[in-house]
Amino acid sequence: MTTLIALPALGAVLTALVPSGRGTLAKQVATGAALVTLVIGALISIQFLFDVDMGVQEETYEWIPEFGASWALDVTGISLALVALTVLATPIVAVAMWHEAEEEQRDPKAFFALLLAVEALTLTAFLAQDVLLFYVVFEAMLIPLYFMIGMYGGPQRRYAAVKFLLYNLVGGLAMLAAVIGLYVQSVDAGNPSFFLPDLVALDIDTTTQWWLFIGFMLAFAIKAPLWPFHTWLPDAAAEATPSNAAFLSGVADKVGTYGMIALVLPLFPDASRDAAPVIVVLAVVSIIYGALLAIGQTDMKRLIGYTSISHFGFIVLGIFALTSQAATGATFYMVNHGLSTIALFIVIGFLISRRGSRQVDDFGGVQKPAPKLAGVFLFAGLSGLALPPLATFLSEFLVISGTFLRYRPAAIIATLGIVLSALYILWLYQRTMTGPVRPAVEGMPDLRTREVAVITPLLALLLVVGFFPKPLTDAIDEAVGPTLVEVGVEQPEPLAPVAEHVEEGTGR
């Protein structure tokens, strides 16, 4: 597992050492490193999903013994899903950046080095079994991302980068106070430690739990933007390069929702139980608010940014519904939302690079000169609105049905969010792809080979995971169960077995 993290880290260093001006070499080194990481990630996944022994095991090394902090890594079903997403997404984003880089005035070397650095840190966050280690990488991730947004992208990128960093830093510092508070609890209990199982075993009184819960949740609610802490995301999504925006909202921000399900629920069961109604309300607001604002956007990247807020609302809703069905759905949703958002951002990147504009109004009738591009766009869009049998459908269904068991009104309102998602995606398609061909769109080239290479794996994955979700959902289910037992709420009977085929109900 350390290998999995060391590879991209080493790749980042190697990429940074490539002499300036040799952009192509830097791209090759970085993409190579990302692909090797993918292979290792695949080995771990195979062992975990299909019980084939690949020699992967949990690892614990002393790191800062003075604080009882260790370099402790372990795979659970939840982390596996996200590790798989990360190792898959990074090479795709790297290749997508190849031709975006040609349009940048800057040497792309730094972007690729930073991308790999973020990959290493993200993987560490998903595997960490030590709260201090998790915190360290959670915060350290901000710096490379900040440089990625600030150095490459649109005219307002400096503003977006600083906003991104400050928002997340404030959340991170609140979490730092809570991390220290948690540690002091373990000191008082006579066993100073940052090791997650040790901390979960602590018996913390409810008032203290509340304070710590607020510290952690603030950080995660900013990271995985939950209304009203979301305002940095649309700016970052709009100003960053398309592939960077894809990576940011598709992969990096999942650390926030992962933190909610893997740290907050087991560490602060009482507070989570008590706060669930509040968080559920915020999540529902996020779903509707994000969707409504997405409908109103004229800037395509900002539009996708708002759809992400809506989808993150679904994920948070699933986590805090506190039913195993919804939690499984939410975790599964993280993966699928990652895939579909990356696909959407990348396709929009293709459009922008052809036209030099992010405005919806500058397009129209694209499907005539570039039918393949339009087809890919529609496919990615439909995965975004959770059309069966694409992977996103199942996760959305699980979240809503799982929520329905406990918070009926929330589930009903969330369903409205699905209707709205159909609206913004299809309307976006209609405005850009159909209708009379705009003069500026005349002669727009269709997909190039490299673009096909980038987008095909994503779309294929969405289909495969949609048709064969069972190994992954089972693995997630297994991990979610104990977490919810920890929270100690009654599990209602599920409405329907998970894998049973469901009547189409997406409101289309």
Partner 1 sequence: MNAPTIEYAELAPLITIFGAAVIGVLIEAFVPRKVRHPVQVAVALLALVAALVQVILLAGTDIVAAVGAVAIDGPALFLQGTILVLAIISIGFFAERRLEAGGDAFAPAASSLPGSEEERVLVRERMLQTEVYPLALFAVGGMMLFPAANDLLMLFIALEVMSLPLYLLCGMARRRRLLSQEAALKYFLLGAFSSAIFLFGMAFVYGYAGTLRFGEISEALTANVGQDGILLAGIGLMAVGLLFKVGAVPFHSWTPDVYQGAPTPVTGFMAACTKLAAFGAMVRLFYVAFGGMRTDWQPMLWAVAIATMLVGAVVALTQTDIKRMLAYSSIAHAGFVLTAMVAADSSATAAILFYLATYGISTLGAFAVVTLVRDSGGEATHLAKWAGLGRRSPVLAATFALFLLAFAGIPLTSGFVGKLSVFTAAIDGGAAPLVVVGVIASAIAAFFYVRVIVLMFFSDPAPEGPTVAVPSLWTAVGITLGAAATLLLGIVPGPLLDLAQQASQFVR
Q: Is 17 in the site for partner 1 (CB under 8 A)?
A: no
Q: How far apart are CA 472 and CA 235, in angstroms?
A: 33
Instruction: Choose, by CB under 8 A, the member of 166, 201, 278, 502 that binds partner 1.
Output: 166
Q: Is 65 in the site for partner 1 (CB under 8 A)?
A: yes
Show the 3-state SS of 414-476: HHHHHHHHHHHHHHHHHHHHCCCCCHHHCCCCCCCHHHHHHHHHHHHHHHHHHHCCHHHHHHH
* Of 256 and 388, CB closest to partner 1: 256
Q: Is 184 in the site for partner 1 (CB under 8 A)?
A: yes
Q: Is 150 in the site for partner 1 (CB under 8 A)?
A: yes
Q: Which residues between 341 and 380 bind partner 1 (CB under 8 A)?
A: none
Q: Is 71 in the site for partner 1 (CB under 8 A)?
A: no
Q: How far apart are CA 395 and CA 499, in angstroms?
A: 11
DSSP SS3 for 72: strand
Instruction: Choose, by CB under 8 A, the member of 17, 64, 464, 485 that binds partner 1.
Output: 64
Residue 259 beta carbon to partner 1: minimum distance, rounded to whole angstroms? 15
* Of 36 and 140, CB closest to partner 1: 140
Supply φ then ψ for residue 195, to 5 degrees.
Answer: -70, 125
Contacts of 43 (CB under 8 A, 6+ apart): 54, 56
Instruction: Choose, by CB under 8 A, the member of 98, 183, 306, 393 that binds partner 1.
Output: 183
| Residues 354 and 306 sit within 8 Å (Cβ to Cβ) | no
* Of 12 and 422, CB closest to partner 1: 12
Supply φ then ψ for residue 492, to 5 degrees.
Answer: -70, 155
Phi-psi region of 51 (alpha: psi -120 to 50; beta: other; left: phi over 0): left
Q: In what helix (H) or strand (E) does residue 70 lie, and over which residues does it extend?
A: strand 69-73
Q: Is 147 in the site for partner 1 (CB under 8 A)?
A: yes
Residue 161 beta carbon to partner 1: minimum distance, rounded to whole angstroms? 7
Residue 485 beta carbon to partner 1: minimum distance, rounded to whole angstroms? 30
Q: Is 187 in the site for partner 1 (CB under 8 A)?
A: yes
Buried b (16+ CB within 10 A) or exposed e, 473-487: bebbbebbeebbeeb
Region of 171-179, 355-363, 377-385, 432-440 interacting with partner 1 (CB under 8 A)? 171-179
Q: Is 151 in the site for partner 1 (CB under 8 A)?
A: yes
* Of 44 and 114, CB closest to partner 1: 114
Q: How far apart are CA 31 and CA 334, in angstroms?
A: 24
The count of residues interacting with partner 1 (CB under 8 A) is 35
Residues 413, 410, 298, 306: what is their CA dihedral angle, to the nearest 10 degrees? Answer: -160
* Of 106 and 372, CB closest to partner 1: 106
Q: Is 66 in the site for partner 1 (CB under 8 A)?
A: yes
Question: Quick one: which of 334, 149, 330 has its CA closest to 235?
Answer: 149
Residue 33 beta carbon to partner 1: minimum distance, rounded to whole angstroms? 20
Helix axes 391-406, 408-433, angle to 10 degrees: 150
Instruction: Choose, by CB under 8 A, the member of 48, 98, 112, 135 that binds partner 1.
Output: 135
Q: Which residues between 24 and 63 bind partner 1 (CB under 8 A)?
A: 62-63
Q: How far apart are CA 454 and CA 329, in angstroms?
A: 27
Instruction: Choose, by CB under 8 A, the member of 10, 54, 67, 413 that binds partner 1.
Output: 67
Which parts of this chain interact with partner 1 (CB under 8 A)? Answer: 62-67, 132, 135-137, 139-140, 142-143, 146-147, 150-151, 157-158, 161-162, 165-166, 169-170, 173-174, 176-177, 180-181, 183-184, 187
